[in-house]
Structure 1
Protein backbone atom coordinates (compact mmCIF):
# COMPACT_ATOMS: atom_id res chain seq x y z
CA UNK A 1 0.00 0.00 0.00
CA UNK A 2 1.99 2.95 -1.33
CA UNK A 3 -0.25 4.70 -3.87
CA UNK A 4 -3.64 5.15 -2.26
CA UNK A 5 -6.81 6.74 -3.56
CA UNK A 6 -9.34 7.66 -0.85
CA UNK A 7 -12.85 8.43 -2.03
CA UNK A 8 -16.24 8.65 -0.39
CA UNK A 9 -19.95 8.66 -0.93
CA UNK A 10 -20.32 12.34 -0.06
CA UNK A 11 -18.97 15.40 1.65
CA UNK A 12 -18.75 14.56 5.34
CA UNK A 13 -17.84 10.90 4.76
CA UNK A 14 -14.49 11.54 6.45
CA UNK A 15 -12.13 11.36 3.46
CA UNK A 16 -9.74 14.10 4.64
CA UNK A 17 -9.57 12.90 8.23
CA UNK A 18 -9.12 9.29 7.14
CA UNK A 19 -6.38 10.22 4.65
CA UNK A 20 -4.48 12.29 7.22
CA UNK A 21 -4.61 9.44 9.75
CA UNK A 22 -3.53 6.92 7.11
CA UNK A 23 -0.72 9.21 5.98
CA UNK A 24 0.53 9.57 9.55
CA UNK A 25 0.40 5.82 10.12
CA UNK A 26 2.17 4.92 6.86
CA UNK A 27 4.42 8.01 6.65
CA UNK A 28 3.07 8.85 3.18
CA UNK A 29 2.28 12.35 1.90
CA UNK A 30 -1.40 13.28 1.65
CA UNK A 31 -2.86 15.38 -1.17
CA UNK A 32 -6.34 16.90 -1.05
CA UNK A 33 -8.18 17.29 -4.36
CA UNK A 34 -10.15 20.26 -3.02
CA UNK A 35 -6.84 22.11 -2.60
CA UNK A 36 -6.02 21.38 -6.27
CA UNK A 37 -9.49 22.30 -7.53
CA UNK A 38 -10.41 25.47 -5.65
CA UNK A 39 -8.62 28.77 -6.17
CA UNK A 40 -9.01 31.77 -3.82
CA UNK A 41 -12.61 32.93 -3.52
CA UNK A 42 -14.02 29.53 -4.53
CA UNK A 43 -12.98 29.89 -8.18
CA UNK A 44 -12.78 26.53 -9.96
CA UNK A 45 -9.51 25.48 -11.59
CA UNK A 46 -9.84 24.42 -15.20
CA UNK A 47 -9.71 20.70 -15.96
CA UNK A 48 -6.24 20.85 -17.61
CA UNK A 49 -4.72 22.52 -14.53
CA UNK A 50 -6.59 20.24 -12.12
CA UNK A 51 -5.50 17.15 -14.05
CA UNK A 52 -1.90 18.34 -14.36
CA UNK A 53 -1.53 18.71 -10.59
CA UNK A 54 -2.75 15.13 -10.13
CA UNK A 55 -0.49 13.78 -12.88
CA UNK A 56 2.48 15.27 -11.04
CA UNK A 57 1.51 13.42 -7.85
CA UNK A 58 0.56 10.03 -9.34
CA UNK A 59 3.97 9.82 -10.99
CA UNK A 60 5.61 9.57 -7.56
CA UNK A 61 6.44 6.34 -5.72
CA UNK A 62 4.02 6.92 -2.85
CA UNK A 63 1.02 9.12 -2.21
CA UNK A 64 -2.43 9.33 -0.72
CA UNK A 65 -4.90 11.39 -2.72
CA UNK A 66 -8.28 12.05 -1.16
CA UNK A 67 -11.38 13.42 -2.80
CA UNK A 68 -13.98 12.50 -5.35
CA UNK A 69 -14.08 14.51 -8.61
CA UNK A 70 -15.27 11.84 -11.03
CA UNK A 71 -13.72 13.68 -14.01
CA UNK A 72 -10.30 12.38 -12.91
CA UNK A 73 -11.20 9.08 -11.19
CA UNK A 74 -9.52 6.99 -13.88
CA UNK A 75 -6.29 8.99 -13.75
CA UNK A 76 -5.90 8.29 -10.04
CA UNK A 77 -7.33 4.77 -10.08
CA UNK A 78 -5.03 3.60 -12.87
CA UNK A 79 -1.95 4.55 -10.80
CA UNK A 80 -3.27 3.50 -7.38
CA UNK A 81 -2.37 0.15 -5.85
CA UNK A 82 -5.12 0.61 -3.25
CA UNK A 83 -8.51 2.31 -3.46
CA UNK A 84 -10.34 2.98 -0.21
CA UNK A 85 -14.01 3.91 -0.39
CA UNK A 86 -15.86 5.39 2.60
CA UNK A 87 -19.64 4.97 2.57
CA UNK A 88 -21.01 6.26 5.84
CA UNK A 89 -24.73 6.92 6.47
CA UNK A 90 -26.29 10.04 4.95
CA UNK A 91 -27.34 11.55 8.29
CA UNK A 92 -23.82 11.16 9.67
CA UNK A 93 -22.37 12.85 6.57
CA UNK A 94 -24.82 15.76 6.94
CA UNK A 95 -24.04 16.08 10.65
CA UNK A 96 -20.31 16.17 9.93
CA UNK A 97 -20.70 18.81 7.20
CA UNK A 98 -22.65 21.04 9.59
CA UNK A 99 -20.18 20.42 12.42
CA UNK A 100 -17.26 21.19 10.11
CA UNK A 101 -18.90 24.46 9.05
CA UNK A 102 -19.56 25.43 12.67
CA UNK A 103 -15.97 24.87 13.77
CA UNK A 104 -14.31 26.36 10.67
CA UNK A 105 -16.73 29.15 9.66
CA UNK A 106 -14.86 32.21 8.46
CA UNK A 107 -11.59 30.24 8.19
CA UNK A 108 -9.85 28.30 5.44
CA UNK A 109 -9.21 24.63 6.21
CA UNK A 110 -5.83 23.15 5.32
CA UNK A 111 -7.43 20.59 2.99
CA UNK A 112 -9.08 23.17 0.74
CA UNK A 113 -7.72 25.82 -1.60
CA UNK A 114 -6.08 28.88 -0.06
CA UNK A 115 -8.51 31.78 0.32
CA UNK A 116 -11.65 29.60 0.41
CA UNK A 117 -13.37 30.35 3.69
CA UNK A 118 -15.58 27.58 5.03
CA UNK A 119 -19.17 28.04 3.93
CA UNK A 120 -22.43 26.15 4.06
CA UNK A 121 -25.56 26.88 2.08
CA UNK A 122 -28.84 25.19 1.26
CA UNK A 123 -27.62 24.37 -2.25
CA UNK A 124 -24.74 22.28 -0.85
CA UNK A 125 -27.04 20.44 1.59
CA UNK A 126 -29.45 19.69 -1.27
CA UNK A 127 -26.54 18.45 -3.39
CA UNK A 128 -25.48 16.00 -0.66
CA UNK A 129 -29.03 14.71 -0.12
CA UNK A 130 -29.96 14.36 -3.80
CA UNK A 131 -26.71 12.71 -4.92
CA UNK A 132 -26.18 10.31 -2.00
CA UNK A 133 -28.32 7.35 -3.15
CA UNK A 134 -27.63 7.65 -6.90
CA UNK A 135 -23.89 7.75 -6.10
CA UNK A 136 -24.25 4.65 -3.96
CA UNK A 137 -25.45 2.71 -7.01
CA UNK A 138 -22.79 4.20 -9.30
CA UNK A 139 -19.99 3.44 -6.86
CA UNK A 140 -20.64 -0.31 -6.88
CA UNK A 141 -20.10 -0.34 -10.65
CA UNK A 142 -17.17 2.04 -10.44
CA UNK A 143 -15.34 -0.05 -7.84
CA UNK A 144 -15.77 -3.16 -10.02
CA UNK A 145 -14.36 -1.23 -12.97
CA UNK A 146 -11.39 -0.09 -10.89
CA UNK A 147 -10.74 -3.68 -9.79
CA UNK A 148 -10.78 -4.82 -13.42
CA UNK A 149 -7.86 -2.45 -14.17
CA UNK A 150 -5.52 -4.87 -12.40
CA UNK A 151 -6.01 -8.06 -10.37
CA UNK A 152 -3.42 -6.80 -7.85
CA UNK A 153 -5.37 -3.60 -7.17
CA UNK A 154 -6.78 -3.67 -3.66
CA UNK A 155 -10.30 -2.27 -3.18
CA UNK A 156 -11.40 -1.59 0.39
CA UNK A 157 -14.92 -0.40 1.24
CA UNK A 158 -15.55 0.84 4.78
CA UNK A 159 -19.16 1.52 5.71
CA UNK A 160 -19.14 2.47 9.39
CA UNK A 161 -16.98 4.14 12.02
CA UNK A 162 -16.49 0.67 13.54
CA UNK A 163 -15.12 -0.68 10.24
CA UNK A 164 -12.79 2.33 9.97
CA UNK A 165 -11.47 1.78 13.51
CA UNK A 166 -10.97 -1.92 12.70
CA UNK A 167 -9.06 -1.03 9.53
CA UNK A 168 -6.61 1.18 11.43
CA UNK A 169 -6.27 -1.38 14.21
CA UNK A 170 -5.36 -4.12 11.70
CA UNK A 171 -3.00 -1.77 9.91
CA UNK A 172 -1.17 -1.02 13.15
CA UNK A 173 -0.64 -4.67 14.09
Structure 2
Protein backbone atom coordinates (compact mmCIF):
# COMPACT_ATOMS: atom_id res chain seq x y z
CA UNK A 1 0.00 0.00 0.00
CA UNK A 2 1.73 3.21 -1.15
CA UNK A 3 -0.23 5.84 0.79
CA UNK A 4 -1.62 4.62 4.09
CA UNK A 5 -5.38 5.11 4.39
CA UNK A 6 -6.49 7.82 6.78
CA UNK A 7 -10.06 6.68 7.55
CA UNK A 8 -10.41 3.00 8.40
CA UNK A 9 -13.34 0.92 9.57
CA UNK A 10 -12.42 -2.39 11.20
CA UNK A 11 -15.37 -4.75 10.96
CA UNK A 12 -15.85 -8.34 12.00
CA UNK A 13 -17.86 -10.82 13.96
CA UNK A 14 -18.11 -10.59 17.74
CA UNK A 15 -14.86 -11.81 19.27
CA UNK A 16 -12.75 -11.47 16.12
CA UNK A 17 -10.36 -8.89 17.61
CA UNK A 18 -11.67 -5.64 16.11
CA UNK A 19 -10.72 -3.39 19.02
CA UNK A 20 -7.21 -4.78 19.35
CA UNK A 21 -6.64 -4.46 15.62
CA UNK A 22 -8.04 -0.92 15.45
CA UNK A 23 -5.73 0.14 18.28
CA UNK A 24 -2.74 -1.46 16.55
CA UNK A 25 -3.58 0.19 13.21
CA UNK A 26 -4.01 3.57 14.88
CA UNK A 27 -0.70 3.27 16.70
CA UNK A 28 1.12 2.05 13.60
CA UNK A 29 -0.20 4.85 11.38
CA UNK A 30 -0.38 7.59 14.01
CA UNK A 31 -4.13 7.89 13.37
CA UNK A 32 -6.62 8.40 16.23
CA UNK A 33 -8.54 5.22 16.93
CA UNK A 34 -11.88 5.05 18.68
CA UNK A 35 -13.44 2.24 20.66
CA UNK A 36 -17.08 2.20 19.62
CA UNK A 37 -18.09 0.45 22.84
CA UNK A 38 -16.83 3.48 24.77
CA UNK A 39 -19.04 5.68 22.59
CA UNK A 40 -22.15 3.53 22.97
CA UNK A 41 -22.11 2.45 26.64
CA UNK A 42 -22.15 4.66 29.71
CA UNK A 43 -21.20 3.58 33.25
CA UNK A 44 -23.60 1.05 34.73
CA UNK A 45 -24.08 -0.56 31.30
CA UNK A 46 -26.48 2.19 30.30
CA UNK A 47 -26.87 2.17 26.53
CA UNK A 48 -26.35 5.53 24.85
CA UNK A 49 -29.51 6.47 22.90
CA UNK A 50 -29.15 5.71 19.17
CA UNK A 51 -29.41 9.38 18.14
CA UNK A 52 -26.56 10.29 20.53
CA UNK A 53 -24.50 7.37 19.23
CA UNK A 54 -25.03 8.64 15.70
CA UNK A 55 -24.00 12.17 16.67
CA UNK A 56 -20.82 10.88 18.36
CA UNK A 57 -19.88 8.79 15.32
CA UNK A 58 -20.61 11.68 12.93
CA UNK A 59 -18.30 13.91 14.98
CA UNK A 60 -15.49 11.38 14.52
CA UNK A 61 -16.17 10.59 10.88
CA UNK A 62 -16.09 14.22 9.72
CA UNK A 63 -12.44 14.27 10.79
CA UNK A 64 -9.72 13.62 8.22
CA UNK A 65 -8.11 10.74 10.11
CA UNK A 66 -9.68 8.00 12.21
CA UNK A 67 -9.92 4.29 12.88
CA UNK A 68 -13.18 2.84 14.20
CA UNK A 69 -13.28 -0.65 15.66
CA UNK A 70 -16.86 -1.43 14.69
CA UNK A 71 -20.08 -0.04 13.26
CA UNK A 72 -23.54 -0.65 14.63
CA UNK A 73 -26.35 -1.02 12.12
CA UNK A 74 -28.16 2.12 13.35
CA UNK A 75 -25.36 4.33 12.03
CA UNK A 76 -23.32 2.05 9.78
CA UNK A 77 -23.94 4.44 6.87
CA UNK A 78 -21.89 7.17 8.57
CA UNK A 79 -18.43 5.53 8.55
CA UNK A 80 -19.16 3.74 5.27
CA UNK A 81 -19.69 7.09 3.56
CA UNK A 82 -16.27 8.36 4.65
CA UNK A 83 -14.02 5.31 5.02
CA UNK A 84 -11.03 4.93 2.73
CA UNK A 85 -10.60 1.32 3.78
CA UNK A 86 -12.66 -1.42 5.43
CA UNK A 87 -10.69 -4.12 7.17
CA UNK A 88 -12.89 -7.20 7.50
CA UNK A 89 -12.05 -9.92 10.02
CA UNK A 90 -13.76 -12.92 8.43
CA UNK A 91 -12.34 -15.55 10.74
CA UNK A 92 -13.82 -19.02 11.25
CA UNK A 93 -16.48 -19.25 13.94
CA UNK A 94 -14.38 -21.45 16.23
CA UNK A 95 -11.53 -18.93 16.21
CA UNK A 96 -13.68 -15.89 17.00
CA UNK A 97 -15.81 -17.82 19.50
CA UNK A 98 -12.69 -19.14 21.25
CA UNK A 99 -11.28 -15.62 21.48
CA UNK A 100 -14.60 -14.32 22.81
CA UNK A 101 -14.88 -17.03 25.47
CA UNK A 102 -11.27 -16.55 26.60
CA UNK A 103 -11.73 -12.76 26.76
CA UNK A 104 -15.01 -13.07 28.68
CA UNK A 105 -13.59 -15.48 31.24
CA UNK A 106 -10.47 -13.34 31.77
CA UNK A 107 -12.58 -10.22 32.22
CA UNK A 108 -14.81 -12.01 34.73
CA UNK A 109 -11.86 -13.34 36.75
CA UNK A 110 -9.79 -10.16 36.66
CA UNK A 111 -12.79 -7.81 36.94
CA UNK A 112 -11.40 -5.79 34.04
CA UNK A 113 -13.02 -2.44 33.44
CA UNK A 114 -14.34 -1.98 29.91
CA UNK A 115 -16.71 0.40 28.13
CA UNK A 116 -16.36 3.47 30.37
CA UNK A 117 -15.54 1.57 33.54
CA UNK A 118 -18.14 -1.20 33.29
CA UNK A 119 -17.36 -4.68 34.56
CA UNK A 120 -18.73 -7.83 32.95
CA UNK A 121 -20.70 -10.08 35.28
CA UNK A 122 -21.36 -13.80 35.34
CA UNK A 123 -25.09 -13.08 35.55
CA UNK A 124 -25.09 -11.12 32.29
CA UNK A 125 -22.64 -13.54 30.67
CA UNK A 126 -25.16 -16.32 31.23
CA UNK A 127 -28.28 -14.27 30.43
CA UNK A 128 -30.14 -13.76 27.16
CA UNK A 129 -28.12 -10.52 26.80
CA UNK A 130 -24.89 -12.52 26.75
CA UNK A 131 -22.15 -11.44 24.37
CA UNK A 132 -21.67 -15.13 23.57
CA UNK A 133 -25.31 -15.45 22.47
CA UNK A 134 -24.86 -12.25 20.46
CA UNK A 135 -21.95 -13.93 18.68
CA UNK A 136 -24.23 -16.77 17.59
CA UNK A 137 -27.13 -14.54 16.57
CA UNK A 138 -25.02 -12.06 14.58
CA UNK A 139 -22.25 -14.21 13.08
CA UNK A 140 -23.88 -15.11 9.75
CA UNK A 141 -25.24 -11.59 9.18
CA UNK A 142 -21.92 -9.88 9.83
CA UNK A 143 -19.99 -12.40 7.75
CA UNK A 144 -22.39 -12.00 4.82
CA UNK A 145 -22.18 -8.20 5.08
CA UNK A 146 -18.37 -8.22 4.91
CA UNK A 147 -18.41 -10.54 1.94
CA UNK A 148 -20.97 -8.36 0.11
CA UNK A 149 -18.81 -5.30 0.70
CA UNK A 150 -15.75 -7.15 -0.57
CA UNK A 151 -17.56 -8.10 -3.78
CA UNK A 152 -18.99 -4.60 -4.36
CA UNK A 153 -16.75 -2.41 -6.57
CA UNK A 154 -18.75 0.65 -5.48
CA UNK A 155 -17.47 0.36 -1.90
CA UNK A 156 -14.22 1.69 -0.54
CA UNK A 157 -11.42 -0.86 -0.65
CA UNK A 158 -12.20 -3.91 1.50
CA UNK A 159 -9.44 -6.14 2.81
CA UNK A 160 -11.01 -9.40 3.90
CA UNK A 161 -8.80 -11.43 6.22
CA UNK A 162 -9.63 -15.06 6.96
CA UNK A 163 -6.66 -15.87 9.21
CA UNK A 164 -4.80 -13.91 11.90
CA UNK A 165 -1.52 -14.54 10.05
CA UNK A 166 -2.89 -12.57 7.08
CA UNK A 167 -3.65 -9.64 9.38
CA UNK A 168 -0.13 -9.75 10.84
CA UNK A 169 1.44 -9.79 7.38
CA UNK A 170 -0.66 -6.79 6.34
CA UNK A 171 0.17 -4.87 9.53
CA UNK A 172 3.88 -5.23 8.72
CA UNK A 173 3.24 -3.27 5.49
CA UNK A 174 1.84 -0.26 7.35
CA UNK A 175 3.79 2.74 8.58
Superposition TM-score, scaled by structure 1 size: 0.86
The C-alpha deviation readout for 1:12-31, integer Å capped at 9, x for no partner, is 10101111111111011110
Report the secondary structure of 1:25's partner residue: helix
Distance 2:24 2:119 in 1: 23
Distance 1:135 1:36 in 2: 20
Task: Please state how far the C-alpha of 1:171 moved relative to its aligned partner.
Answer: 2.3
Report the secondary structure of 2:8's partner residue: strand
Task: Please state how far the C-alpha of 1:131 moved relative to its aligned partner.
Answer: 2.6
The runs of 5 or more residues in structure 1 that have no matched partner are none
- Determine which of 135, 149, 160 is the counterpart of 2:142: 135
Distance 2:63 2:42 in 1: 24
The residue number in structure 1 matching 2:119 is 117
The runs of 5 or more residues in structure 2 that have no matched partner are none
Change (3 A) 1:130 1:56: closer
Instruction: Work out whether 1:167 is the aligned partner of 2:152.
Output: no
The C-alpha deviation readout for 1:53-74, integer Å capped at 9, x for no partner, is 1111111110001113122111
Distance 1:101 1:25 in 2: 27
Aligned length: 164
Instruction: Work out whether 1:58 is the aligned partner of 2:65.
Output: no
Deviating above 3 A after TM superposition, structure 1's stretches of 4 or more consecutive aligned residues are 142-145
